[in-house]
Amino acid sequence: MKLIIELGRRIQNLGRRAVRAKTVGVRALVFDSDNRVLLVKHTYREGWHTPGGAVNNGETPIDAVRREVLEETGVTLDDNIDLFAVYLNKWRNLDDFPILYVAKNQEGDVATNDRYEIAEVGWFLLDSLPEDTTQKTRRRIEEYLGNQAVSNTW
């Protein structure tokens, strides 16, 4: 299944490159009332990441982030969501623009609705993130905490 998902992504990206498409994605730093952060581990790449994904045609970014968080983690975001930053991500020879939102005081049991894409989901204390949390995920958390300047690139 991992191979089929990756093949589909590669074909989609070839088409986007052919027309010089720009992509827009969303990510979310989701915190609960205990200030734990919600992270996901994908089936097709290494490490723990913030939940998120592509903005679909006709969909607003805020609707996309709500959908992606629900699909990937089972958590329904309430209205306590703020835009944090927009980045440029040079990914697979594409110009991708991830929009990062912060959602505070969110509650919910975690359970993925997409077992083909998400292997694990969890709430983690900021001082005890999983060892294999990606550098980019750690960087976004540090930016949010004010420990690093907000970058222009993902």
Domain layout of the chain by residue ranges: 22-145
Whether pTM exceeds 0.75: yes
**Quick check: 100 pLDDT over 60?**
yes
Q: How far apart are CA 104 and CA 35, in angstroms?
A: 8
Which span out of 3-12, 19-28, 142-151 was modeled with the highest average pLDDT?
A: 142-151
Query: Helix or strand or coil: residue 16?
Result: helix
Question: What pLDDT digit, counting tens, does each position of 70-97 carry?
Answer: 999 999 999 999 999 999 998 777 899 9
Pick the CATH number of 22-145 from 3.90.79.10, 3.40.640.10, 3.30.565.10, 3.40.50.720: 3.90.79.10
77 by Cβ neighbours in 10 Å (0-12 / 13-18 / 19+) ranks as buried
